[in-house]
Amino acid sequence: MSDFGHCEGDVCRRKHCKGIIRMRKADGCSCHISPPCSACTAPRHFCDKCEWDEADDEVINDFIVNVDKATGNYRSWEPRPLDPSKIDYRISSHTHSSQICEGVYPEGTTKDEIQAKVRGTFGGRFERFGGGHFKYIAYTD
């Protein structure tokens, strides 16, 4: 996980910013009709010190990228958080014929269940497995 702040009260830390993450009020809440409403689930976190706004974040190739809408420049990028309630992982290069699948899994998941999702064309091996985290080298060529 990244060191950037995401929740209300966290220190921002984007480009060494020491601002505190805040949350805007939901504008036009209709939770009384059908909760949760889109106003309450929309991205509302922001840092007024460095001008980061969660609404400007996009997911691009397993990274959360914050884009300045005016210039199109990336303000920050970080790996997307992994979801430990399911088998979730990121892929990175290893060698010309293998890749690294590194991720998380819920309690009770077996190696076979994970291997069924991450196995390379020519197999692979676990480098680490336990405590809800794994690292698997998948042989691709």
Q: Where are the domains of the chain?
A: 14-79, 88-139
Which pLDDT score is estimated for 127?
96
* pTM, full prediction: 0.58
Which pLDDT score is estimated for 1?
39
The region that residue 40 occupies, defined by phi over 0 for left and psi between -120 and 50 for alpha, beta otherwise, is: alpha
pLDDT tier at 79, thresholds 50, 70, 90 = confident
> Do the strands 98-104 and 88-95 form a parallel or antiparallel pair, or are they unpaired?
antiparallel
Per-residue pLDDT tens over the stretch 89-115:
999 989 999 999 999 999 999 999 999
For 136, phi and psi rounded to 5 degrees?
-125, 130
